[in-house]
Structure 1
Amino acid sequence: MSKTTTVAERRNGAANKPHELDSNIVKALSHPLRMRILTRLNEGVASPNEMSKEFEESLPLVSYHVRILRELDCIELVRTTPRRGAIEHHYRALTRPFLDDDDWAQLPPSARKAVSNTVLSKMLGDVRTAVTAGTFDERADRHLSYAPLMLDEQGWRDLGDRLGEVLAWAIEEQATSAGRLQDGQSGGPEVRARLSMLAYSAPPTGSESAAPKRRRSKR
């Protein structure tokens, strides 16, 4: 997404034409393990053997889902390595495990739940690992916010658009940072960052305060 095109503008531009769900992405994300594999290969090159150890899953099962992802053109083989009389295959992702609002709306509720469970497990597991390792609060400028909100339908849609723009900017900034790091420019040392965003419909509890609660580290 360009920096001058907002999520809302793209949504309005596509309002008058039918949206076709990318069947390959749906098939890729329809199984939790395939989604984990695709997410992992977006982080870096890996082999089925390496991922089977990371995920604590059997090698034949991981290899099976890797083969499906390759048939769906979601990943590609980048190199092979001889390993004790065998050949280890290393793959990288060709697409991000991403569904836009129109894609998401066309998924059945069971598929949405499966995708959400996979993403939340990955996200919360990563947070727990960072807390245990002491890196979560290592930087004084890290960000942590929690804000109960009461919005109308328009406010909810605007919130989703703004979060989408933040994600698009972060992905662009990652590419820009990679260029600075490679060229030795003065952007500073490498920072392994994680961006997690949640906006969801909360269950009625009757106990939430109307005033937002927010905690943010001082910069």
Structure 2
Amino acid sequence: MSKSTTAVARRDQKDQHELESNIVKALSHPLRMRILTRLNEGVASPNEMAKEFEESLPLVSYHVRILRELDCIELVRTTPRRGAIEHHYRALTRPFLNDDDWAQLPPSARKAVSNTVLSKALGDVRNAVAAGTFDDRSDRHLSYTSLALDEEGWRKLGDRLNELLEWVIEEQAAAAGRLQDDESGGGEVRSRLTLLHYTAPPAGAEEAPPKRRRAKR
């Protein structure tokens, strides 16, 4: 490897490290996590997100500014609103953390990230069930499997799930191209994918059913 090639490789590694470090900083606060996730779904302004999240506009604007300083989002347009200017942003990176990134987060931040993701995912599931779309296709997938693995099995399963997620993202891009060209793959299907793999709770720690109260006579 030539010196110039080595220099380029080192610069690429430095840029990647800075990007990963910025993502860790971005996701270290639950509201920034929500904002970055929302902007991955589509363009939005701090005002729109403040209403959606039921948070104050100054607080949302503060965290939007931090995300922009971390190069996680960018300004795409401005809109005049009643004598003011509304700024609209989009995400530049996905809110994804690898194992090393996750290890950098303190336990409180990990819990906050997990609560944010689970609240969004489970809330979406409830909405789909209520709307009747969860079961409207016979080929939808739903499974729950209790496992007993060793460390090697745990790691292998995690690797397979990461591979699946990468494939899904690539396939989504390919599907977007087919839809734009001629819909050769069929019509658009809006779907959700939630992957969960976690350490089971201790025996006996499962949520106990609510106690039945005797009706007063």
TM-score, normalised with respect to structure 1: 0.82
Please give the residue correspondences for 1:19-38 in structure 2 after superposition, counting only pairs within 5 Å: 22-38=20-36
- Higher Cα radius of gyration: 2
**Bigger helix share:** 2
Q: Structure 1 stretch 103-112 or stretch 128-137: which is displaced more?
A: 103-112
Q: Within 1, Cα distance between the matches of 2:204 and 2:129?
A: 31
- Secondary structure at the aligned position of 1:57 is classed as coil
Could you give the per-residue CA deviations for residues 162-219 of structure 1, whole angstroms, max 9, x where no partner exists?
A: 00001000000111111111112311111111110100010232799xxxxxxxxxxx
- Equivalent residue, structure 2, for 1:159: 157
TM-score, normalised with respect to structure 2: 0.82
Q: Within 2, Cα distance between the matches of 1:151 and 1:28?
A: 33
Larger RCO, structure (CA 8 Å, separation 6 or more): 1
Please give the residue correspondences for 1:44-123 in structure 2 after superposition, counting only pairs within 5 Å: 44-123=42-121
Task: Report how far residue 73 of structure 1 moved.
Answer: 0.6
Q: Structure 1 stretch 104-113 or stretch 146-155: which is displaced more?
A: 104-113
Task: Report how far residue 105 of structure 1 moved.
Answer: 2.2
- Secondary structure at the aligned position of 1:105 is classed as helix
Task: Report how far residue 82 of structure 1 moved.
Answer: 1.6
Task: Report how far residue 114 of structure 1 moved.
Answer: 1.6
**Identical residues among aligned pairs (%):** 83
Q: Structure 1 stretch 183-192 or stretch 158-167: which is displaced more?
A: 183-192
Please give the residue correspondences for 1:196-207 in structure 2 after superposition, counting only pairs within 5 Å: 196-205=194-203
Q: Within 1, Cα distance between the matches of 2:22 and 2:102?
A: 14
- Secondary structure at the aligned position of 1:141 is classed as coil
What is the identity, as a one-letter code, of the residue corresponding to 2:47?
N
What is the identity, as a one-letter code, of the residue corresponding to 1:126?
D
Task: Report how far residue 24 of structure 1 moved.
Answer: 1.2
- Equivalent residue, structure 1, for 2:126: 128
Please give the residue correspondences for 1:171-210 in structure 2 after superposition, counting only pairs within 5 Å: 171-205=169-203
Structural RMSD (CA): 2.0
- Secondary structure at the aligned position of 2:85 is classed as strand
What is the identity, as a one-letter code, of the residue corresponding to 1:78?
V
5+ residue gaps, structure 1 = 1-16, 209-219
| Number of residue equivalences | 191
Q: Within 2, Cα distance between the matches of 1:106 and 1:51?
A: 28
Could you give the per-residue CA deviations for residues 91-136 of structure 1, whole angstroms, max 9, x where no partner exists?
A: 1000111101121123222221121111111111111111112111
**Equivalent of 1:139 in 132, 137, 141:** 137
